Amino acid sequence: MLLLSLIIAEAALETVPKYIAKHPSVVKHSSKIGKPASEILLDRSYHHGAMLKLKDAGKRGRPDLVHFALLEATSTPLYHESMLKVYVHTVANRVIFLNENVRLPKSYFRFEGLMEELFKDRRVRSDSNVLMELKDMEFCDLIGKLRPARVVGLSRIGARSSAEEVAKMIDRDTAIVVGGFPRDHFSSKISSKINYTYSISDLALEVHVVIARILYECEKILFK
């Protein structure tokens, strides 16, 4: 059965890069919580000073934003009814494969622990089931693996449309791509793989709002 896919692309979710592991703000946070920097999520709330040295710093270190986006997607009837697959492509070119019917924690503290486990062990299990897996993978390789009939991107700089209109063009063989970062746009590596890019509002919408709206409109059509 073909499944609608949602890809949260260039998501601001990664562990602290080696390059800044010795920065005072990282060392302080790491020793406070008693974990090596390599096992801690990069987080602007704690590592702002260190992040100034990073490339594309404005797009990184927002695990809270990715948490919201993922919860929005996995709280939908489309996901609960196994009609939607959800992928997170991260800014450091890893891809999280989320199994069906995973119930992500709403508590950020627990989500953080889950993600740190995933980045460390490459998979998270519950009893005998694999809940999620992490693979080194570029966005283009994920598209190559999924082979959707079309890739629809949602971005403020896309052609002006509405969630309702865009949903009409989406069927089960579509990958919807949203940006998992707080500002700026898709990099060229992402946009070159997108067939159609639309904007669904005149106003800037946060990514979790975009996800809520497009999946809701898709649900209205696919549940008919």
Alpha helix segments (H runs only) across 122-173: 139-146, 163-168
What is residue 84's three-state secondary structure? Answer: strand
Does 45 bind its own copies (CB under 8 A)? Our answer is yes
Q: CA dist 22 to 46, 52, 100, 125, Å? A: 14, 14, 38, 32
Does 206 bind its own copies (CB under 8 A)? Our answer is yes
Residues 49-68, one symbol each (x = binds its own copies by CB under 8 A, - = not), give -------------x-xx--x
What is the nearest approach in angstroms of its own copies to the Cβ of residue 88? 17
What is the nearest approach in angstroms of its own copies to the Cβ of residue 156? 13
Decide whether 178 or 205 has the Cβ nearer to its own copies: 205
101-130 residues in contact with its own copies (CB under 8 A) are 106-110
Pick left, alpha or beta for residue 127 (phi over 0 → left; psi -120 to 50 → alpha; otherwise beta): left
Decide whether 59 or 208 has the Cβ nearer to its own copies: 208
| Sign of the CA dihedral running 25, 30, 33, 38 | positive
DSSP 15: B
Decide whether 75 or 99 has the Cβ nearer to its own copies: 75
What is residue 188's three-state secondary structure? Answer: helix
Binding site for its own copies (CB under 8 A): 45, 62, 64-65, 68, 71-72, 75-77, 80-81, 106-110, 163, 201, 203, 205-206, 208-209, 212-213, 216
